[in-house]
Structure 1
């Protein structure tokens, strides 16, 4: 049996990354490495019994129970074309400005993010809705693609957010506190993206032509046409914040309402679409649950072995300023976010990072918002940038280099936003406290 925390940590991490290099899924890799490392410490029979307990804990968790519901709600909303309704409203009010369609895309991403809670789903949906419109109006490919890829990241920041639910489960925080904390940073993100677009079109007017202003009749028509999306958003988010529903109840209500809208939306093969939605939801839920269970097992090993405390103590005693340590962690997250899926990047690092951040005296809710934002940045950062590749796969004749050039102004806006929330934590915590 091994009892040295440093040896246990080294063995566990080495085995974890070996499994990742062998292309074992992140959740399974964390679970296996946690079992093996814990087995080396206490024996494999106690380790296996721990697996059963941690798996049962995850599967009966109220927080994780919302994940399949939010995923299903987002898929149904996409099939019912609610995203198109949101985009039309934004376009009617601000689309006539120079760069207005790109601003409408950002607003549409924020609105759809409030329905689905997923960055990739928001990017894919808005690529179908907004990209053809911007191309038709003569927008430069860089601005069009950059606004979609960056705006897609709002899907994990604007509540309800699936990645916030995972964070709440793994760190034992109240998911409602995270949802509330995400409101102001989400609105700040929209504002800074709009400023970035304004700067681009001012410096290069040819990137976005001015369109004809729509009259109030057309605006009112678009607003009334979006009543379905507004109904879901008000019921789900409004119900949560007003205390009418718990998060789980709100997710259930959202599924029921979006399912009714799905049934009322004209489509050729409704049954086939429903099967596709259910399969997609089941596949995504299984993947996320596996990662949550694996992370829980690995985190349990780190806690029991004392390895996490040893690591935290060593770094905390290094003499580095706590903000320097935070910046180093954020740099690591940007790299991970560019390589891994956002949820994978978070669950892989939280067992190490969260105890360290708490030891440094930071607020766990504040760190959750910072964590989500920095992973969001990683999803549009070269060389991988998951949102970029989702958009690339859906946009014909759009080179990767064009998309990456287009996201540069939005990356600048992202770093400004992270800097503001690090300097002024009240932006994230004002509504919570």
Structure 2
């Protein structure tokens, strides 16, 4: 049996374990260890498992993960997400679809603290869906806006997706964070335009709300000011070179905690809950990264990535033709694989191809994260769709999937724009470095 066949069996076995609901990180560790064992011996396999585990858990750059997760959890319990939503509602709530637009803005702002699509969708969904229900918004637009807006959590920095991509490809976390700013704003604008377009065609989907007075707008903006300031300090500090991403995460976590303490929203029970959620999410992410670091050496030994590079380049599709094939494959995989799982499974295979084709790895990281976002709202998995279903159990899944369709098209448009104009993603990183 050739080493390539062993690699293929390992990949198929991995998909089999995932189908049996084995946790992603554990499945990667099992397949990677057994694969190296079969290609070398037990000593090499166990040494790789021990060494790679140590490498992951001792990387100081990975401390951004628990710190940003903590920052998002504290912001959630402190009411900052509600303040941001109220501020957006005060300024645009009187327009048709204004509440849905405010939800998109709120998700984008909260994403800049949490770095998580799940946290953004859950937090803003609990705030926005009851309000849209009160103003008789159509369920399709309401749930679609929350599900799609939540995906901004892995594009607008800080982003867990970018952190994992950086660790797996040895790229700069700071550059990836900065590269996500303009594409994140672009996607937010496209989502807002999507809301305006569907409400223009059918005004009944998103009735206009009451107009806020100048005083109400000022008060709502003042309430949201701490969150806006924290975002500017952390992300602006990275861009200006004042902070490293790790330092920015620490500063953001401290500032968010101070605001929560001053507001009196922190009790012993909420503090314990926040810390437990942070530890649980961090442990899950670390397990996936350890698994990826064990699985990648197995793939390298099997020569599958090299073989795939040769085959794709041999097709003569050209650089952009090959890129489109890769992105289409990732979009299809995203229909049944969870985002981080797809990232750690596919990057060891496709990243060498991207480098061989001469594409900028930072730019491709942004493209890949947008593809991950598309998977979050694509059936049959569509994690964000099921999260919204949990918040709004009375809304049928068919209606939620129908509601996210226009937003999925907006994401595809953003992907095409970034392929045509790479400087959208690369302009700020080039200015920064």
Q: TM-score, normalised by structure 2?
A: 0.96
The 5 A counterparts of 1:211-290 are: 211-267=209-265, 270-290=267-287
Question: For the residues of structure 1 that align with 2:411 and 2:118, how far apart are their CA atoms?
Answer: 18
Q: Confirm whether residue 428 of structure 1 aligns to residue 392 of structure 2.
A: no
Q: CA deviation at 1:332?
A: 2.5
Q: CA deviation at 1:295?
A: 0.7
Aligned to 2:178: 180
Question: For the residues of structure 2 that align with 1:116 and 1:14, how far apart are their CA atoms?
Answer: 34
Q: CA deviation at 1:291?
A: 0.7
Q: Give the counterpart of 1:20 among 18, 21, 25.
A: 18
Aligned to 2:62: 64
Q: Confirm whether residue 354 of structure 1 aligns to residue 351 of structure 2.
A: yes
Question: For the residues of structure 1 that align with 2:139 and 2:400, how far apart are their CA atoms?
Answer: 8
Deviates more, 1:22-31 or 1:82-91: 22-31
Aligned to 2:338: 341
Residues 96 and 209 of structure 2 are in contact (CA less than 8 Å); yes or no, is this contact kept in structure 1?
yes
When the two chains are superposed, the root-mean-square deviation of aligned CA atoms in Å is 1.5
Deviates more, 1:333-342 or 1:109-118: 333-342
Question: For the residues of structure 1 that align with 2:14 and 2:380, how far apart are their CA atoms?
Answer: 23
Q: CA deviation at 1:305?
A: 4.1
Instruction: Report the secondary structure of 1:430's partner residue.
Output: helix
Instruction: Report the secondary structure of 2:429's partner residue.
Output: coil
In structure 1, runs of 5+ residues without a counterpart are none
Question: For the residues of structure 2 that align with 1:413 and 1:342, how far apart are their CA atoms?
Answer: 19
Instruction: Report the secondary structure of 1:165's partner residue.
Output: helix
Residues 1:397 and 1:22: Cα distance change in structure 2 (over 3 Å): closer
Q: CA deviation at 1:144?
A: 0.9
Q: Confirm whether residue 412 of structure 1 aligns to residue 409 of structure 2.
A: yes
Question: For the residues of structure 2 that align with 1:419 and 1:5, how far apart are their CA atoms?
Answer: 37
Aligned to 2:76: 78
Residues 87 and 107 of structure 1 are in contact (CA less than 8 Å); yes or no, is this contact kept in structure 2?
yes
Question: For the residues of structure 2 that align with 1:33 and 1:337, how far apart are their CA atoms?
Answer: 21
The 5 A counterparts of 1:59-138 are: 59-138=57-136
Question: For the residues of structure 2 that align with 1:305 and 1:341, how far apart are their CA atoms?
Answer: 25
Residues 85 and 225 of structure 1 are in contact (CA less than 8 Å); yes or no, is this contact kept in structure 2?
yes
Deviates more, 1:51-60 or 1:362-371: 51-60
Residues 338 and 378 of structure 1 are in contact (CA less than 8 Å); yes or no, is this contact kept in structure 2?
yes
Question: For the residues of structure 1 that align with 2:197 and 2:283, how far apart are their CA atoms?
Answer: 42
Residues 1:405 and 1:31: Cα distance change in structure 2 (over 3 Å): same
Question: For the residues of structure 2 that align with 1:395 and 1:154, how far apart are their CA atoms?
Answer: 20
Residues 8 and 304 of structure 2 are in contact (CA less than 8 Å); yes or no, is this contact kept in structure 1?
no
Residues 33 and 295 of structure 2 are in contact (CA less than 8 Å); yes or no, is this contact kept in structure 1?
yes
In structure 2, runs of 5+ residues without a counterpart are none
Question: For the residues of structure 2 that align with 1:46 and 1:218, how far apart are their CA atoms?
Answer: 66
The 5 A counterparts of 1:387-398 are: 387-398=384-395
Residues 26 and 348 of structure 1 are in contact (CA less than 8 Å); yes or no, is this contact kept in structure 2?
no
Number of aligned positions between the proteins: 430
Residues 1:332 and 1:307: Cα distance change in structure 2 (over 3 Å): closer
Q: CA deviation at 1:363?
A: 1.0
The 5 A counterparts of 1:313-392 are: 313-392=310-389
4+ residue runs of structure 1 moved beyond 4 angstroms? none
Question: For the residues of structure 1 that align with 2:427 and 2:407, how far apart are their CA atoms?
Answer: 25
Aligned to 1:307: 304
Cα displacement string for residues 355-410 of structure 1 (whole angstroms, at most 9, x for unaligned residues)? 11211221101110000001101100112200000010011411111111111111
Question: For the residues of structure 1 that align with 2:153 and 2:114, how far apart are their CA atoms?
Answer: 7
